[in-house]
Amino acid sequence: MVLQEEKSMDWLAKYWWILVIVFLVGVLLNVIKDLKRVDHKKFLANKPELPPHRDFNDKWDDDDDWPKKDQPKK
């Protein structure tokens, strides 16, 4: 009984990468199948409006360091 378990574990130790490849192929096939169900034309037709981007740089927009075009050069 113990010898048989060692053989099965030996096979798993040698060929673990095949199981990983089979798992990744399965994940890839499921992703492709799910992406085929997405109707991008319908989504783009009913695309929700994005809210305006809020960042905290708006207070620095008034404090511009660039010289004004109307000012004479010094």
Query: Across the 74 residues of the chain, what is the mean pLDDT of every consecutive 10-residue run?
Result: 68 91 98 94 88 68 64 63
pLDDT at 63: 57
pLDDT at 8: 72
- What letter does residue 41 receive in the DSSP assignment? H
Q: Is 14 exposed, middle or buried (0-12, 13-18, 19+ CB in 10 A)?
A: exposed
Q: Position 16: which residue type?
A: W
Which residue is associated with the tokens 């207070």?
59
Could you state, in order of their start, the residue ranges of all structural domains in the chain?
A: 2-44
- What letter does residue 61 receive in the DSSP assignment? H
pLDDT at 10: 87
